[in-house]
């Protein structure tokens, strides 16, 4: 979704980031709830320069600018530059004084409602399997699209576990939410049309994936590690 800059920035609509670095900067500030102007002020760079950086794939900021942006966005230069894109999260050392807390029901729902990628655990003939799925939360239930015969479709008619999380390597912090409940393939045409209309995004795996699975939560628990 595009956002508008403050009135003193001319109320122009921000362009969609096109470069890898620009997309990472935009995604990170969106996660922190920062506008371009707020990010530019934090980093000590001109708003026009930040706009250029996000909108032009060939933009090549120097190391000092990258360090300033990383600090403003509470992350690392490696994360912004894509150096950790192929690495699993959680490689950094534990924080000196971490605080482990349980999330209440409202916090769990708020985090699940951000959408994204979660993991569904299903039972197979040769043992349990866990696979990632692009999911949405609609009417309080976890919903995702898959293909007939694919691993996630094995959830139909069974009690399953679904987990979503976010890890911040820069601060050795994060959260996870675990949902357990009954999974069913959605067969009602009206419900399918509604899910198609309200889905946040299509499955990243591509291909024909028009089978909707709905997980009705029975228990929802969550935990958080903060510094």
Which CATH number do you get for residue 156? Answer: 2.30.110.10
What CATH number does the domain containing 63 carry? Answer: 1.10.260.40
Q: Which two tokens stand for residue 49?
A: 């320069």
Q: Is residue 144 part of a domain?
A: yes
- 75 and 36 in a single domain? The answer is yes
Looking at the fold, whether 44 and 115 belong to one and the same domain comes out as no
Q: Number of structural domains, the chain? A: 2
Domain limits at 65?
7-81
Nearest to 150 by CA among 212, 86, 201, 108: 212
Residues 76 and 187 in one domain: no
Closest CA to 163 of 132, 205, 137, 185: 132
Are 134 and 202 within one domain? yes
pLDDT at 3: 37
The reply to whether 24 and 118 lie within a common domain is no
Token couple for 215: 């997980």
117 in the same domain as 61: no
Give me the tens of pLDDT residue by residue for the chain, a chain 227 residues long: 333 333 333 333 344 444 478 888 988 898 889 999 999 999 999 999 999 998 887 888 888 898 899 999 988 887 787 765 565 665 556 667 778 899 999 999 999 988 789 999 998 888 899 999 999 999 999 999 999 999 999 999 999 999 999 887 667 788 999 999 999 999 999 999 999 998 888 888 888 898 999 999 999 999 998 87
Q: Which of 146, 148, 142, 145 is nearest to 161 (CA)?
A: 142
- Are 71 and 132 in the same domain? no
Residues 126 and 215 in one domain: yes
Assigned domain for 1 exists: no
Same domain? For 173 and 65 the reply is: no
Place of tokens 């999911």: 135
Contacts of 221 (CB under 8 A, 6+ apart): 102, 103, 108, 177, 178
Last residue of one domain, picked from the residues 31, 54, 81: 81
pLDDT at residue number 87? 56
Q: What is the distance between the alpha carbons of residues 201 and 114, in angstroms, rounded to a whole number?
A: 12
118 and 206 share a domain?
yes
Whether residue 215 contacts residue 162, with contact meaning beta carbons closer than 8 Å, is answered with yes
Confidence at residue 125, expressed as pLDDT on a 0 to 100 scale: 85
Q: Are residues 76 and 112 in the same domain?
A: no
Helical segments of the chain, H only: 20-32, 36-43, 47-55, 63-72, 77-81, 105-112, 189-198
């Amino acid at each position: 979704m595009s956002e508008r800059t403050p009135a003193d920035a001319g109320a122009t609509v921000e362009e969609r980031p096109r470069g890898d670095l620009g997309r990472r900067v935009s995604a990170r500030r969106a996660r922190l709830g920062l506008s371009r102007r707020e990010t530019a002020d934090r980093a000590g760079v001109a708003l026009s320069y930040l706009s250029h950086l996000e909108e032009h794939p060939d933009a090549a900021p120097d190391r000092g600018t990258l360090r300033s942006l990383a600090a403003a966005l509470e992350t690392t230069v490696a994360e912004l530059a894509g150096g950790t894109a192929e690495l699993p999260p959680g490689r950094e050392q534990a924080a000196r004084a971490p605080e482990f807390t349980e999330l209440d029901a409202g916090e769990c729902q708020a985090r699940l409602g951000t959408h994204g990628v979660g993991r569904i655990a299903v039972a197979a003939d040769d043992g349990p399997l866990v696979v990632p799925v692009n999911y949405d939360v609609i009417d309080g239930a976890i919903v995702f699209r898959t293909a007939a015969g694919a691993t996630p479709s094995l959830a139909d008619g069974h009690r399953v576990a679904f987990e979503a999380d976010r890890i911040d390597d820069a601060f050795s912090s994060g959260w996870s939410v675990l949902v357990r409940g009954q999974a069913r393939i959605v067969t009602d045409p009206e419900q399918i049309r509604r899910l198609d209309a309200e889905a946040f995004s299509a499955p990243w795996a591509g291909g024909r994936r028009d089978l909707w699975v709905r997980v009705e939560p029975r228990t929802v628990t969550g935990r958080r590690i903060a510094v």
